[in-house]
Structure 1
Amino acid sequence: MSDITPAELKQRQQAGEELNIIDVREPWENAEGRIEGSQNIPLGALPTKLDELEELKDQEVIVHCKGGGRSASAKAFLAQQGFTNVRNLIGGFSAYQQS
């Protein structure tokens, strides 16, 4: 599955879709601003949270960070763990805020 653009994400949010969004930034970054409905799991804590995310393995999961680097790592990690539909937010939270 290809990555997702900020415009597509906003369009789907406005349509009222229920989305699985994971913010892999640090808690202090999340406190400065967040995407509505996102769950904050810092990249370093992701391996310890796999049990909580198990039910999402076959659902679409959108990951984001500030610019796209950490979330690319999160996408690769989750794919290795058997997640079948992980999408990275292109440009991260910075691009989302500007779109």
Structure 2
Amino acid sequence: MTDITSTELKQRQSAGNAPTIIDVRETWENEEGRIEGSQNIPLGTLPDKLDELEALKDQEIVVHCKGGGRSASAKAFLVQHGFKNVRNLLGGFQGYQQA
């Protein structure tokens, strides 16, 4: 699945068609600012949350971090565990704030 731009994500949110958004930044980073509707699952805890995410395996998921590095790892991890429609937010939270 191709990654997603901040502009596309914002357009989808405005249209009420937002995918599941997972913020893989640390909790303290999420507390400083977050994308509305996102859930915070720090990258290091993602393996422990797989069972909770099982119902999302066939749904579109957008993962993001601060700049895109950690979320690229999260995307690869989820895809490796059978998630079929995972997209990385290009530019991360920083890019989203600027879009």
Given the two structures, how large is their TM-score scaled by the length of structure 1? 0.99
Q: How many angstroms apart in 1 are the aligned matches of 2:39 and 2:50?
A: 13
Q: How many angstroms apart in 2 are the aligned matches of 1:70 and 1:62?
A: 13
Q: How many angstroms apart in 1 are the aligned matches of 2:58 and 2:88?
A: 16
**Aligned length, in residue pairs:** 99
Over 6 Å off, 4+ runs: none
**Corresponding residue for 1:65?**
65
In the TM superposition, residue 18 of structure 1 has moved relative to its aligned partner by 4.0
**Gap regions ≥5 residues in structure 2:** none
Given the two structures, how large is their TM-score scaled by the length of structure 2? 0.99
In the TM superposition, residue 90 of structure 1 has moved relative to its aligned partner by 0.1
Q: How many angstroms apart in 1 are the aligned matches of 2:87 and 2:16?
A: 19
Task: Name the aligned partner's letter for residue 63 of structure 2.
Answer: V
- In the alignment, is residue 98 of structure 1 matched against residue 66 of structure 2? no
Secondary structure at the aligned position of 1:49 is classed as: helix
Task: Name the aligned partner's letter for residue 51 of structure 2.
Answer: D
Task: Name the aligned partner's letter for residue 82 of structure 1.
Answer: G
**Corresponding residue for 2:11?**
11
**Gap regions ≥5 residues in structure 1:** none
| Identity score, percent | 78
